[in-house]
Copies of this chain bind each other. A is one copy, B any other.
């Protein structure tokens, strides 16, 4: 099997690459694993000779054709300008998130016109395709009414993914990801970054800024759960999924207060005191347009799973990022 990860230098991309490069890859025997991002992605631990890494800007003419010329069987597409940046930089958000994705799908179509080709495409979408006001039950039958340009770009790519799948140009599945928490590493420009910062930084003895109120409720899954979504999506039989190819992934509905209580249980009051409250109107506005909970029934029925408590999410972080020591 030949696998391509686009956006392999991002947090999820790196974890996914590591899972695939491991000796017992969940996808079975991998002949070739190609890692692509705007900067050349680092080689994962356990690198084998079949792994290659390359710096590619999807929005450059000819870039996607070059990636597809080697006809990967499974393409994970995680490359994106994050929500905060896409809101500030209109041109960059549309160029990368919409045009880059469309160029990828078009390259697949043109490759298939030469000789039959229909790869599995696993597309990282987002719960941000939905926007307020929300119905009582928010599931995959609800309107995508995003309140950010990022959410708009993801919703458009979902429509393209569905149309290209319906025409059997590719075999696509879109993962409407919850907010990933706890993101390791350093803060990025995603408007949702603080949900991770207020746990990760205090666990490392550092201060963190909380820009919204404690009663803000949101939808979460761990990085480990998210990597599990991608691996499951790569091998799932999609014929039974029908034409609606984007699915709300399972997650945990919890408040900022729930996060803080879980932190208190794990690390005590001293850790909690490192959270500094600094309301930010732009972040508050963006977050208020996101849903608090979802009905992920379709994905659950297909075998996707995630955490049920914030204590579990903290435990995953301690195990995967802190060598087991909180």
Give me the interface of A with B, judged by CB distance under 8 Å: 90, 109, 131, 135, 140-147, 149, 152, 155-156, 159-160, 162-163, 166-167, 243-244
Interface pair A149/B163, CB less than 8 Å apart: yes
Q: What residues on B are CB-neighbors of A244 within 8 Å?
A: 143, 145
Which residue from B135, B144, B147, B152 sits with its C-beta under 8 Å from A160?
A: B152
Q: Which of A140, A145, A160 has the most CB of B within 10 A?
A: A145
Q: Chain B residues near A109 (CB, 8 Å)?
A: 90
Q: Is the CB of A155 within 8 A of B147?
A: no
CB neighbours of A147 from chain B (8 A):
166, 243
Q: Please determine whether B243 and A145 come into contact, CB atoms closer than 8 angstroms.
A: yes
**B163 touching A152, Cβ below 8 Å:** yes
CB neighbours (8 Å) of A243 from chain B are: 131, 145, 147
Please state if B145 and A152 are interface contacts (CB–CB under 8 Å): no
Residues of B within 8 A of A166 (CB): 147
Q: Which residues of B contact A155 (CB under 8 A)?
A: 159
Alpha-carbon distance A146/B166, docked complex (angstroms): 10
State the Cβ distance, A158 to closest chain B Cβ, in Å: 10
Is the CB–CB distance between A159 and B156 below 8 Å? yes
Contact: A143 with B141, CB < 8 Å? yes
Docked-complex contact B140 and A143, CB < 8 angstroms:
yes
Q: Are A143 and B142 in contact (CB under 8 A)?
A: yes
**Chain B nearest CB, measured from A130 CB (Å):** 10
A112 to chain B, nearest CB (A): 12
Q: Find out whether the CB atom of A146 lies under 8 angstroms from the CB atom of B167.
A: no
21 A-B pairs with CB atoms under 8 Å apart are A90-B109, A140-B143, A141-B143, A143-B144, A143-B244, A144-B144, A145-B243, A145-B244, A146-B159, A146-B163, A147-B166, A147-B243, A149-B163, A149-B167, A152-B159, A152-B160, A152-B163, A155-B159, A156-B156, A156-B160, A159-B159
Is the Cβ of B140 less than 8 Å from the Cβ of A90? no
Residues from chain B with Cβ under 8 Å of A143 in the complex: 140-144, 244
Closest B residue by C-beta to A132: B243
* Contact A141:B144 (CB < 8 A) given known A131-B243, A152-B159: no
Closest A-B pairs by Cβ, 6 of them: A152-B163, A156-B156, A152-B159, A141-B143, A145-B244, A156-B159
A131-B243, A149-B163, A156-B156 known; A142+B142 contact, CB < 8 A: yes
Which of chain B's residues have a CB closer than 8 A to the CB of A163? 146, 149, 152
User: Can you add 8 more A-B contacts, CB < 8 Å, to A146-B163, A149-B163?
Assistant: A90-B109, A135-B141, A142-B142, A142-B143, A143-B144, A147-B166, A152-B162, A159-B159
A236 to chain B, nearest CB (A): 19
Report how far A140 CA is from B155 CA in the complex, Å.
Answer: 16
Candidate in A135, A159, A160 with the most chain B CB atoms within 10 angstroms: A159
A244: nearest residue on chain B (CB-CB)?
B145
Alpha-carbon distance A145/B146, docked complex (angstroms)? 16
What B residues does A156 contact at CB under 8 A?
156, 159-160
